[in-house]
């Protein structure tokens, strides 16, 4: 059979499948593949039993942060059984009240609710929403679980228009609120302990009990919940700063588990808890510094940044806030003359380790007497110069060029007489594929 004949047969097969869902292997082929990076407003979002995000749009779904769309009924076959139903209005995962045996996924379509365990419809479903969740309206906008202690009781939160419904799973009591500060959520999600409300292509993080929104919101979903490297100027910054092999100027991890990476005029902040990244110019976030840091470290809720013979200090947060009285000279804060190459403070420690060439000094950061005293600690035998350094719960990382070297502790770092295995910064720290 030649190529033309094969193509014609395939086209005829697709025509025969029109208005039906044709299967190819274990995943159904969508009639028109959707591109989540073109600004789709998702109908619903949830986390499945394996902890993978699932986004719904029309009769299709996306699994994970990247990948192609597939038909929803390829995974959840019965969603197509009632043809008057259009799309998934809302979805949530119930990980509580299940006798610790199963995790259920609930999908809401018009006036019906479907319940699945490992992509198998639970007996007795679908049901009317009014039967399964008495007091909850039909044609919902969004839904999410809110287990204890995030909420006072194990609760399902439903969204419709301006109203938010709190459904107590144990008592089936319903409380209705209107929270003016909250946008009208078209989908909602509890993910890694945080609550998110999506609308359009944007989202906010909120307190599920009060609806309070703190910090700088909204943000773009394509920057955080989808891998869209070609989207927007900020996404270009994120992709470039993550995957560049240019050496780092400074790196540190704050008390909130965020890593700050500085390179030239740009910075990259990575939230290790939420698995999100954000990038921009140093001047946009740290106006007093402008660009090109020498070193940085975090201590007791503050970020200390060295540039030339000055130290700048910011309160950790979003956005970081300048500390009154700064900048101060390096001599005042760290007891040293000249520029700093790298610095770190280990979690729970009070000592800053300061690198100048081969020499490493200790500075007690709890000392209130300025200038502080820098005490010579050790000579760094392995490197002539360290570009950046960071200490975390698993040990110390020293950054030289495009690589970093891990030591399980500060003592082992000083005692080492041979280099440990080098790791590419772009791969080992930032999750790039090269």
Confidence of residue 9 (pLDDT cuts 50, 70, 90): very low
pLDDT recorded at residue 89: 94
> What residue ranges of the chain are covered by domains with CATH 2.110.10.10?
28-224, 232-429
pLDDT at 174: 96
Residue 428 confidence class, pLDDT cut points 50, 70, 90: confident
Give CA–CA dist 157/154, Å, rounded: 10
pLDDT value, residue 223: 76
Find residue 105's DSSP bridge partners. Answer: 93, 116
pLDDT in tens, 378-420: 888 889 899 999 998 889 999 999 899 999 999 999 989 899 9
- Predicted confidence band at 4 (pLDDT cuts at 50, 70, 90)? very low
Check whether 284 has a pLDDT greater than 50.
yes
159 falls in which pLDDT band (50, 70, 90)? very high
What fold characterizes domain 232-429?
Hemopexin (2.110.10)
How far is residue 100's CA from residue 103's CA, in Å, rounded to a whole number? 8
Q: pLDDT per residue over 176-199, tens digit each?
A: 998 888 889 999 999 878 899 999
- Contacts (Cβ under 8 Å, ≥6 apart) of 373: 335, 363, 364, 367
Mean pLDDT lowest among 60-69, 240-249, 254-263, 383-392: 240-249
* Cα pseudo-dihedral 217, 218, 222, 226, rounded to 10: 60
Confidence of residue 433 (pLDDT cuts 50, 70, 90): low
Which region among 30-39, 279-288, 319-328 has the lowest average model confidence (pLDDT)?
30-39
User: Which segment of 9-13, 77-81, 162-166 scores lowest on mean pLDDT?
Assistant: 9-13
Percent of the chain with pLDDT over 90: 45
pLDDT of residue 83: 55
Q: What is the DSSP letter of 349?
A: -
Give the model's confidence band at 14: pLDDT under 50 very low, under 70 low, under 90 confident, else very high. Answer: very low
One-character DSSP codes across 232-278: HHHHHHHHHHHH--SPPSEEEE-TTSEEEEEETTEEEEEETTTTEEE
Q: Which residues of 82-94 are buried (b: 16+ CB within 10 A; e: fewer)?
A: eeebeebbbbbbb
312-332 mean pLDDT: 89
**What beta strand segments (E) does 100-231 contain?**
104-109, 112-117, 120-121, 127-128, 142-146, 155-160, 163-168, 174-178, 187-191, 194-199, 202-206, 219-220
Of 83-87, 258-262, 306-310, the range with the highest mean pLDDT is 306-310
Q: Who wins on pLDDT, 349 or 431?
A: 349
In this predicted structure, the answer to whether residue 60 has a pLDDT above a threshold of 70 is yes
Fold for 28-224, please state it: Hemopexin (2.110.10)
Burial code of 103-142, b = ≥16 C-beta within 10 A, e = fewer?
A: bbbbbbbbbbbbbbeeeebeeebbeebeebbeebbeebbb
Percent pLDDT > 70 in the chain is 84
Rg (CA), the chain: 26
pLDDT at 20: 36
Residue 198, pLDDT score: 94
289 CB burial (10 A radius; 0-12, 13-18, 19+):
buried
- Token pair listed for 241: 């700063």
Strand partners, 354: 343, 361
| Neighbour tally for 346: CB within 10 Å | 18
Contact 334, 354 (CB under 8 A): yes
Q: Is 265's pLDDT higher than 90?
A: no
Q: What is the largest CA-CA distance in the chain?
A: 87
Distances (CA, A) of 160 to 106, 143, 145, 254, 354: 17, 9, 15, 38, 55
Number of C-beta neighbours around residue 285 at 10 A: 18
> Which among 179-183, 207-211, 313-317, 341-345 has the top mean pLDDT?
341-345
Categorize the per-residue pLDDT at 309 as very low, low, confident or very high, splitting at 50, 70 and 90: very high
Distance, in Å, from the CA atom of 284 to the CA atom of 212, rounded to the nearest integer, reads 26
In the three-class reduction of DSSP (H, G, I as helix; E, B as strand; rest coil), residue 120 is classed as strand
pLDDT band at 304 (very low <50, low <70, confident <90, very high): very high
Q: Are 296 and 313 in contact (CB under 8 A)?
A: no
Average pLDDT over the chain, rounded to whole? 83
What pTM was estimated for this model as a whole?
A: 0.51
CA distance 414 to 408: 11
């Amino acid at each position: 059979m030649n190529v033309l004949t094969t193509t014609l047969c395939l086209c005829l097969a697709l025509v025969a499948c029109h208005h039906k869902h044709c299967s190819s292997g274990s995943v159904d082929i969508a009639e028109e593949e959707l591109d989540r990076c073109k600004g789709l407003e998702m109908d619903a979002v949830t986390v499945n039993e394996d902890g993978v995000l699932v986004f719904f749009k029309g009769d299709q779904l996306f699994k994970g942060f990247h990948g192609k769309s597939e038909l929803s009924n390829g995974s959840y076959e019965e969603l197509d059984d009632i043809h008057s139903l259009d799309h998934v209005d809302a979805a949530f995962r119930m990980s509580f009240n299940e006798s610790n045996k199963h995790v259920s996924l609930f999908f809401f379509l018009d006036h019906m609710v479907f319940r699945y365990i490992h992509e198998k419809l639970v007996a007795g479903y679908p049901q009317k929403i009014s039967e399964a969740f008495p007091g909850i309206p039909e044609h919902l906008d969004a839904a999410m679980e809110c287990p204890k202690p995030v909420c006072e009781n194990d609760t399902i939160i439903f969204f419709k228009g301006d109203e938010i419904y709190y459904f107590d799973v144990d008592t089936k009591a319903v409380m209705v609120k209107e929270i003016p500060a909250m946008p009208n959520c078209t989908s909602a999600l509890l993910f890694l302990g945080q609550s998110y409300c999506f609308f359009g292509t944007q989202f906010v993080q909120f307190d599920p009990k009060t609806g309070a929104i703190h910090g700088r919101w909204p943000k773009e979903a394509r920057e955080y919940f989808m891998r869209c490297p070609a989207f927007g100027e900020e996404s270009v910054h994120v992709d470039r700063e993550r995957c560049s092999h240019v050496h780092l100027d400074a790196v540190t991890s704050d008390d909130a588990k965020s890593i700050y990476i500085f390179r030239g005029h740009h910075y990259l902040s990575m939230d290790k808890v939420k698995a999100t990244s954000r990038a921009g110019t140093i001047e946009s976030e740290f106006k007093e510094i402008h660009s090109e840091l020498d070193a940085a470290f975090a201590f007791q809720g503050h970020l200390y940044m060295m540039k030339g013979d000055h130290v700048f200090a910011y309160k950790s947060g979003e956005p970081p806030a300048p500390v009154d009285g700064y900048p101060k000279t390096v001599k005042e804060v760290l007891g040293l003359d000249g520029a700093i190459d790298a610095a770190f403070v280990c979690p729970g420690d009070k000592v800053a380790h300061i690198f100048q060439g081969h020499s490493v000094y200790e500075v007690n950061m709890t000392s209130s007497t300025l200038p502080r005293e820098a005490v010579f600690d050790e000579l760094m035998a392995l490197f002539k110069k360290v570009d950046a350094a960071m200490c975390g719960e698993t040990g110390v990382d020293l950054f030289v060029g495009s690589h970093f070297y891990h030591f399980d502790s500060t003592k082992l770092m000083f005692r080492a007489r041979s280099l440990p295995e080098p790791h590419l910064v772009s791969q080992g720290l930032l999750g790039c594929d090269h």
